[in-house]
Structure 1
Amino acid sequence: MDFRGSDAPSGVDVLADSVATAVKVVIVGGFGAGKTTLVGSVSEIRPLTTEETMTRAGEEVDDVAGVERKTVTTVAMDFGRISINDELVLYLFGTPGQQRFWFLWNGLFEGALGAVVLVDTRRLEVSFDVIGRLEERGVPFVVAVNAFPDSPGHPVEELRGALDLPDEVPIVLCDARSRESSRDVLLALMRYLYSLTS
């Protein structure tokens, strides 16, 4: 498959006339899981981000355990785009991770074909509510385990059990900083969505 680079000249922001299908995909996960990083690494256009500096006031409402060095946070959404081939384009919408911003999810999920749940094994428990919300909405998803340098490694089946996932939900390992790795996560989601229609 042909993927256009995210460092392409600004003239590539216009969609090709050959594009026949555009798919909305939502990137979700706990606070600090790497959602903004994934959207930014894979987007062929300059991504839109709504990151703001974290303040002391936020410390009282946001659980920063495990992500103490985080200095900015998404307050509305991230947006990016990737062309899978000449006919298929994915529009990527990254959600904020903190529960206080979850009211925004309603609009972000409208019309979404599927989702990627980005998981940080250092803070696995913050993924439970995220996955629960997707299951309640009936949104198909894949789980992408983001590799942080100090993340504990676990076998996929242990993660599946800890997250209480059915066997058919794909779990993939990724590095959200890598364009190729992030692209592979999106391809895993597309393959999974295709399998659901078969």
Structure 2
Amino acid sequence: MDSVRSELPRTGAHIPIALKILIAGGFGAGKTTLVSALSEVRPLQTEEMLTDAGIGTDDLSGVEAKSTTTVAMDFGRITINEDLLVYLFGAPGQDRFWFLWDELAFGALGAVVLADTRRLADCFPSIGYFEQRGIPFVVGVNCFDGARRFGLETVREALDLDPDVPMLLCDARERQSGKQVLIALVEHVARQHGEPVPV
């Protein structure tokens, strides 16, 4: 018992608040890339090489150059200040890994759904998941090189999104772009809870 007590934080020890954000979207939408761009620490990744065993299971149309896939999750961390940490959990995109989603989403402040206009229908399951569970989310339309560009309202209509769901263009490779998506999510959550939106 004494050894357990010695491991517990002392009274007055500073324990920061931790926020959990889920990064979701279809296969190849840029989830691993976004977590990697945002994380201040080397991200934990569970990437495995795509093999012939995935033929017929993993649809590579539109993402033919993709050679790896997330098989459990990605994890990253952002320190906002000494009182606040943000933990990023990247969810796997394929249907066969959906059994992990309930665990990953448990306790999440909200989610970012990455949309790839080359394979827009792939983000429908993510959107449906968060809508059904009442988890606030924003949609980041990832701007891939060489992909046809569409206006945000065109994408919103195609996804049949409620008008109050924030949507913005982003580049998952760029840290600053990823930050803007996270800020949009935090502001969205604050508005839903009637809190003042941070400036």
TM-score (norm 2): 0.88
Look up the match of 1:114: 110
How many residues align structurally? 182
The residue that corresponds to 1:177 in the other structure is 173
Counterpart secondary structure, 2:69:
strand
Aligned twin of 1:75: 71
Distance 1:91 1:183 in 2: 13
2:34 to 22, 38, 50: 38
Once the two structures are TM-superposed, the CA of residue 19 in structure 1 deviates from its matched residue by 5.9
Please give the alpha-carbon distance, in whole angstroms, between the structure 1 residues aligned to 2:137 and 2:80. Answer: 18
State yes or no: 1:99 paired with 2:95.
yes
Contact 1:19-1:89 within 8 A present in 2 as well: no
Paired residue secondary structure (2:66): coil
Amino acid at match of 1:112: A
Match of 1:3 in 2: none
Report if aligned partners of 1:19, 1:88 keep a CA contact under 8 Å in 2. no
Higher share in strand: 2
Tell me which of 109, 126, 129 is aligned to 1:133: 129
1:152 aligned to 2:148? yes
Equivalent position to 1:53, from 44, 49, 53: 49
Corresponding residue SS for 2:81:
coil
The letter for the 2-side match of 1:78 is: D
Distance 1:88 1:186 in 2: 14
Q: Which moved more, 1:138-147 or 1:128-137?
A: 128-137
Task: Indicate whether 1:197 and 2:193 are aligned.
Answer: yes
Give unmatched runs, 5+ long, in structure 2.
Answer: 1-12, 195-199
Q: 1:19, 1:129 → 2: CA distance?
A: 36
Aligned residues with identical type, % of pairs: 57
Following superposition, the deviation at residue 18 of structure 1 comes to 6.0
Describe the superposition over 1:7-46 as per-residue Cα deviations: whole angstroms up to 9, x where unpaired: xxxxxxxxxx866321010000000000000000010111
Contact 1:32 1:67 in 2 (8 A): yes
Q: Deviations over 1:145-174 (max 9, x none)?
A: 111012211111111111111111000111
Once residues 124 and 162 of structure 2 are traced to their aligned partners in structure 1, the CA distance between those partners, rounded to angstroms, is 14
Moved more, 182-191 or 43-52: 182-191
TM-score by length of 1: 0.89
C-alpha separation in 2, matches of 1:44 and 1:134: 27
Greater C-alpha radius of gyration: 2
Q: Deviations over 1:60-106 (max 9, x none)?
A: 21111111110010000000011223322110000111111111101
* Matched residue, 1:165: 161
CA RMSD of aligned residues (A): 1.2
Task: Return the alpha-carbon distance in structure 1 between the equivalents of residues 14 and 157 of structure 2.
Answer: 43
